[in-house]
Structure 1
């Protein structure tokens, strides 16, 4: 016997620790290491007599809706040598009751699903402790519902379905048998484990609660357009102003509702805040398109929050651990460059139009190309350039293009379609980041104009940040390379992960929710898939 180990037992949920003393019989024997077998001597505070393993198979015959968890249940109880997990000497233990509470409140997790055998579960937990004697059927039912909970809250839709939605970011992989070891060591993680689920999920969960409270209070009324005012500006007076004021108060964009029908400074601040978090140009003018978004029902906003919570389930929380990281969110038309977990640069971007959607995927940036050629894709040659050449034989010369081994390319220079620099993260989708001579497009609110690649408003700033710690480069050298008119490639010393995602609702670090247009019309389809589950 070497030492006494404090063991926090039981698997799940809440701010709970159940410490038991256990003596280790073998030198250097690990306790509850991930994925390892657990010795029965480690269960001194649990029911000491194991149950009959042959009772597992009949359980799934009686409860066929839970049969998809049979293999995980088998692995779990082999690991714990068929000891009861959810009972102590008083009956169903506190972790079991906390799990029941979690399952009974799945809607708070943005999950809309029928809980199998819910009536049976309710009956079990309504019994007094004296009546809750160790029972194999109840034990297996609670464990199966743990895996049901993990499947819905942590894992989400089947990966095949997310691919159907055009989501090619790698899905996280997790064994929820092994994850119990982590929960055993720190049960409170079940409430908020940012190592398991992307932290954004929990911020969206808080906003979901806020919007459901708004819904319970009746939501907000529809704003009527005033025919005398096609647009509203500060100092205008209209009944529509009073309705807008009431609407902004409902979502906290203004602190109080004075009922005033005059467009005053308080309302202006609220409008600017609302526009900022809804992807509009931050000015004080209120037009019909702004009123149209203000009139989106609270139920629709709740649905948007729920589908984006689902997308958070698909992303590995390890993403945020990268030393450097570039994230592009298609609906917000925005790129963020992170270094050491902090945003160092935020830039507007132009993404693919509906017919040429930018793909949701990830890859590692490996190269920066200064003064790049633009190798025109065959699809663009066929659809756009060849018809233009037929009308104008001098089309190539006029656009600084040339033939190159049977293909067409545009020479480096300020009018090159890729601008003065591009950033390559090799991928099968032929997507990359690049500069553009068409700077005016960044002034548009909705910036889906490209053939699929991503144009960035601040390419030089991005190049400077990426190469900041590289002794081979200075801002002056970067500027010179961009304007040299001769293509040059540079291999980055450190690969930088690039994630292209699709989120129509996002909560910033201050807790403010931002909503964006569903530019590729994916939310409704995802919502329908979630209801089918």
Structure 2
């Protein structure tokens, strides 16, 4: 296989590079070459202060193009890493070992080596950034609802590590350390192999299939399920119990209603092209790199995969609580953004303070014609006092309306009985809801942007279990009081709102979800613009 050849290829290449290094002649010739090398380095790093600072600190000595064993080891590590670029879904055209070999062979003068030295450092930093924290420098510039700052490491720090640590260890440390990233990478390789050997076969030509049926469409379904690793090979032409179990497994892995019937949504999932699934995996790998910050996700954290419509509490990389969720409607003003923050407290018996956009667009037009409209809401002035409805609001526009609006705590409150706060400028939080019927839907995009939870009380108990001896009674006693109560968390908890149309489990097949906001499609095009491509056609 390709990966098995990497070490030998890099060692041979390192030997070739060592042979291209100029031999030392007279003292004058050596001095001239050193001077020319350092002058070229000094001139070429001027545009990048971090790289310039690194080379100034070491007297403009090389780390790549010198003749020492240490320089050679760095070149070997760099070439081995470049040979793995396609495994990680990086832009391979930028990291081409053959181009690098030619550049090294051509660098015979001191000045040529100095110029190449700087180029290699720049290339290393580019590769390190791509692998460690993502190909896209600013995902928010691609999709405005992605509110993430990519956790880039300082170039000087990356280069310095090469001089104090084993180069191969430095490159290994760049790979995101999560089990999710490793499993996604493995899934990518396996799916590429499957695509190169025929994919999942012909699609199923049917609108719906049910257990007990037989015929050509059932045979096509059988073959597709076998190729997708959901069914053992067989010659059956009947939609039997084994096929029903396989369809149920597909439905489970695709977030569909699990009934064993291959209806329209199930057949869409089964008929999806493996190349499209591969794109989802590669985008998921990119998204995973964005979270590779030095502080990590937190030993305990809350994870909300928006398109999976679930919220989880993770303790030491294990899911200890999970509940269904509802996210924002697929409208420009309502889509739930992606970001990370820290949950600091919960509010039991919350007021619902109506967002300004909803006041202006929905309630103010009603109030202008009828001051008594939306009577379930209180109108509040700037000092928190309730404003009388015995006045006209007709003179106010969206800009001039001076009041806020809120709904008192109670069973019909839009936030339900509890909300979980991680203060952020997007005004997004997790909360209860009286609209429980929405949690039975497959696609749950109904909110104005916040995340609604199906089991908010159990979620609260799980959070409070670290600080209360009896979290259930503690919570319920406050709830029964009917009083609006803020409960600080003794240990603030990181919250990560993510968007993964492909994600893995410790065991089993990759899970896929619909791209409900169309973000993955946009991100894939952005990655293509950076040189990322599907690697499905090389020889195995």
TM-score (norm 1): 0.78
Deviation at 1:261, TM superposition (A): 2.1
The equivalent position to 1:174 in structure 2, one of 141, 153, 159, is: 153
Classify 1:14/1:328 alpha carbon distance in 2 versus 1 (closer, same or farther; 3 Å).
Answer: farther
Contact 2:284 2:502 (C-alpha < 8 Å) held by counterparts: yes
Classify 1:90/1:402 alpha carbon distance in 2 versus 1 (closer, same or farther; 3 Å).
Answer: closer
C-alpha separation between the residues in 2 aligned to 1:528 and 1:387? 41
Matched with 2:378 is 402
Classify 1:371/1:324 alpha carbon distance in 2 versus 1 (closer, same or farther; 3 Å).
Answer: same
- Does residue 154 in structure 1 map to residue 155 in structure 2? no
Matched with 1:513 is 510
C-alpha separation between the residues in 1 aligned to 2:217 and 2:42? 60
- Does residue 380 in structure 1 map to residue 358 in structure 2? yes
Query: Secondary structure, in 3 states, of the residue corresponding to 2:268?
Result: helix
- Does residue 245 in structure 1 map to residue 222 in structure 2? yes
Matched with 1:277 is 253
Trace 1:130-529 onto structure 2 (pairs within 5 A). 140=118, 142-165=120-143, 166-180=145-159, 182=161, 185=165, 187-189=167-169, 192-193=172-173, 196=176, 198-226=178-206, 230-254=207-231, 256-318=232-294, 320=296, 322-355=298-331, 356-386=334-364, 396-397=374-375, 400-405=376-381, 406-471=403-468, 474-510=471-507, 512-529=509-526
Structure 1 residue runs of 5 or longer lacking an equivalent are 1-12, 16-47, 128-133
Classify 1:261/1:371 alpha carbon distance in 2 versus 1 (closer, same or farther; 3 Å).
Answer: same
Classify 1:98/1:318 alpha carbon distance in 2 versus 1 (closer, same or farther; 3 Å).
Answer: closer
| RMSD over equivalenced CA pairs, Å | 3.5
Classify 1:390/1:174 alpha carbon distance in 2 versus 1 (closer, same or farther; 3 Å).
Answer: same
Classify 1:92/1:123 alpha carbon distance in 2 versus 1 (closer, same or farther; 3 Å).
Answer: farther
Deviation at 1:98, TM superposition (A): 4.1
The equivalent position to 1:103 in structure 2, one of 77, 82, 85, is: 82
Deviation at 1:430, TM superposition (A): 0.9
C-alpha separation between the residues in 1 aligned to 2:126 and 2:42? 14
Query: Secondary structure, in 3 states, of the residue corresponding to 1:114?
Result: helix
Query: Secondary structure, in 3 states, of the residue corresponding to 2:284?
Result: helix
Query: Secondary structure, in 3 states, of the residue corresponding to 2:93?
Result: coil
Contact 2:133 2:291 (C-alpha < 8 Å) held by counterparts: no
C-alpha separation between the residues in 2 aligned to 1:458 and 1:52? 69
Which deviates further from its counterpart, 78-87 or 433-442? Answer: 78-87
Query: Secondary structure, in 3 states, of the residue corresponding to 1:396?
Result: coil
C-alpha separation between the residues in 1 aligned to 2:125 and 2:509? 32
Matched with 1:121 is 100
Matched with 1:18 is none
Deviation at 1:232, TM superposition (A): 2.1
Number of positions where the alignment pairs a residue of Structure 1 with one of Structure 2:
473
Deviation at 1:198, TM superposition (A): 4.6
Contact 2:82 2:97 (C-alpha < 8 Å) held by counterparts: no
C-alpha separation between the residues in 2 aligned to 1:277 and 1:383? 39
Contact 2:345 2:489 (C-alpha < 8 Å) held by counterparts: yes
Deviation at 1:321, TM superposition (A): 5.4
Contact 1:352 1:452 (C-alpha < 8 Å) held by counterparts: yes
Which deviates further from its counterpart, 512-521 or 175-184? Answer: 175-184
Contact 2:90 2:135 (C-alpha < 8 Å) held by counterparts: no
Contact 1:14 1:98 (C-alpha < 8 Å) held by counterparts: no
Contact 1:366 1:495 (C-alpha < 8 Å) held by counterparts: yes
Classify 1:262/1:471 alpha carbon distance in 2 versus 1 (closer, same or farther; 3 Å).
Answer: same
C-alpha separation between the residues in 1 aligned to 2:38 and 2:222? 60
